Amino acid sequence: MEEKKKAKKRVQMREQDPLKRARNFEEVPYAYSPEEAMEEASRCLVCKRPACMGGCPVEVNIPAFISLIKDGKFVEACYKIKEKNSFPAVCGRVCPQEVQCEARCLVGKKGEPVAVGNLERFVADYEAEKGEVKLPEKPKPTGRKVAVIGSGPGGLTCASDLIQAGHQVTLFEALHKAGGVLVYGIPEFRLPKAIVGREVEYIQKLGVEVVVNAVVGRLYTVDELLNEQGYDAVYIGIGAGLPMFLGIPGENLNGVYSANEFLTRANLMKAYLFPEYDTPIKVAKRPAIVGGGNVAMDSARVALRLGAEKVYLIYRRSEAEMPARKAEVHHAHEEGIEFLLLTNPTGFIDDGKGNVCAVECVKMELGEPDESGRRRPIPVKGSEFQVEIDVAISALGARANPLLPKTMPDLKLNKKGYIMADETGMTSARGVFAGGDIVTGAATVISAMGAGRKAATAINDYLKWKYWDFRGPQ
């Protein structure tokens, strides 16, 4: 009886106390101990036809790696994951497991699903700590050269796969540090930058040349890479880079940030360590974050850690419709973020000196479902109210950045400016593949990794048949 009861609940990761962690940038959960990991692993039924794997965009052999954990073979478990996913330390932390592998777990039908993400994270950290990071054998060089543009999760995955196929790979990054959203977007307390640094080092050890400060489109065009610099193929994984704003009065007041800017200052530029680091950031007493996704949660929790007294999160629908990971919403609640739900900002108020001092809002109610399948929020007449704030952060999602695509006349884009690619990542331009947010619109780290992997496979094929009669995706 005792045994069965235990199996229903997963082994929780111990966490930093909410009030303490709200003032530091250290990670929220403490890792599993080896005993805890083995105990959690023992809950896995090792299904013959594992449903979990179908939920994983990169098809990690989940039952196999969990079985190895059961036997205490942690490093081997990590190698097993790395057969399919080069970056388990990242994915264990930021994948939305609750809607992927864990959502399909059989154990989850009658209790909590096996904590696949926590286990993945455990073995990745264990491998790194024990210094047993294994490099695969060097493949036979193919003599082909591939340029990967954008060093976010998609670019890292694509570069890692291509180098292991024997191609020469250069990874171009526009910022001064590689990692893309893993470095500028996701905060330290959710994904320590040392881990990202480790993953970038890993692909460098595999032989990938990483070139930072390279804004492709300005410094080099894709055409030049292919026709002058000797690259045989190009992968574009540049993400959806442009921030969206609300388009309401007062949005250009001082103190109104895009989440991109706020997070880039804090994460990439380490403004939370100002003045040891030179980049400043407004330390707000009462910041308001607008949005309901992971980026909104990250911005709210960064603002809190910078020293805010009260952090508001303004979202126009209800909590049920929030696209953020459940764990992030839960952590935000625990840390004392105040949720202003069914609320929409209509304007920012000037303090008379060009700084934001309040946000004007209107209450919303949910009507019929819209094209996203979620109930459409409608303003409630006469429900306007003001909230006193000193910083506002728009976390409303992103758009396609035209900087690179507009330099490629033969690259087909859709109406919103995203690159059109088939399911393998092939675009309308010869030798050019694309994937991740710049194709699909803003999505997740793991789906970008999945796209990077698929494109690497397609690029392998293309390089075998480079001189085929190219017609582009039909």
Partner 1 sequence: MFKILKKQELSEFVTLFEFEAKDIAKKAEAGNFFILKIHEEGERIPLTIADFDREKGTLTTVFQKVGKTTEHLGTLNEGDFISDVIGPLGVSSHIENFGKVVCVGGGVGIAPVYPITRALKEAGNKVLSIIGARNKDLLFWEDKMRDVSDELVITTDDGSYGRKAVVTVPLEEFLKGGDIDMVIAIGPAIMMKFVCKTTEKYNVKTVVSLNSIMIDGTGMCGGCRVEVGGETKFCCVDGPEFDGADVNFDLLMERQRMYPDEEKAAMERYTEAIKGGK
Among positions 33, 227, 252, 386, the unique one binding partner 1 when judged by CB under 8 A: 252
Report whether 291 contacts 394 (CB < 8 A).
yes
Q: Supply the minimum distance, in Å, between the C-beta of residue 217 and partner 1.
A: 8
List the end-to-end C-alpha distance of the chain, in Å, as a whole number: 59
Question: Which residues are CB-contacts of 35 (< 8 A; sequence separation ≥ 6)?
Answer: none
The residue among 97, 189, 195, 199 whose CA lies nearest residue 155 is 199
The yes or no reply on residue 285 touching partner 1 (CB under 8 A) is no
Q: Which of 421, 416, 388, 411 is nearest to 401 (CA)?
A: 416
Residue ranges in 199-218 that form contacts with partner 1 under rule CB under 8 A:
212-213, 215, 218
Task: Report the site for partner 1 in 373-402 (rule: CB under 8 A).
Answer: 401-402
Asked if 257 touches partner 1 (CB under 8 A), the answer is: yes
Give the tokens for residue 457. 């496979």
Candidate list 275, 352, 373, 382; residue touching partner 1; CB under 8 A: 275
| Member of 282, 301, 325, 331 binding partner 1 (CB under 8 A) | 282
For residue 204, count CB atoms less than 10 angstroms from its CB and return exposed for 0-12, middle for 13-18, buried for 19 or more: middle
Question: Where do the DSSP E strands lie in 121-241?
Answer: 145-149, 168-172, 209-211, 233-236
Q: Does residue number 354 form part of the binding site for partner 1 (CB under 8 A)?
A: yes
Which of 103/215 has CB closer to partner 1?
215
CB 15 to partner 1: min, Å: 31
Task: Give the tokens for residue 419.
Answer: 């690159």
- Closest approach, Cβ 445 to partner 1, in A, equals 17
Q: Which of 86, 151, 260, 447 binds partner 1 (CB under 8 A)?
A: 260
For residue 223, state whether it binds partner 1 (rule: CB under 8 A). Answer: no
- List C-alpha distances in Å: 465 to 229, 231, 432: 20, 15, 14
Q: Give the sign of the dihedral formed by CA 197, CA 202, CA 205, CA 209.
A: negative
Interatomic CA distance for residues 111 and 5, integer angstroms: 9
Q: Which stretch binds partner 1 (CB under 8 A): 68-76, 200-208, 235-243, 305-313?
A: 235-243
Local structure of 127: helix, strand or coil: helix
Q: Which of 34, 136, 139, 280 contacts partner 1 by CB under 8 A?
A: 280
Stretch that binds partner 1, among 248-256, 302-310, 324-332, 452-460 (CB under 8 A): 248-256
Per DSSP, helices labelled H in 275-391 are 294-306, 326-334
334 is an interface residue for partner 1 by CB under 8 A: no
Residue 277 near partner 1 by CB under 8 A: yes
Q: Which residues in this chain contact partner 1 in the complex, by CB under 8 A?
A: 174-176, 184, 212-213, 215, 218-220, 241-243, 245, 251-252, 254-255, 257-258, 260-261, 264-265, 269-270, 274-280, 282, 353-354, 401-403
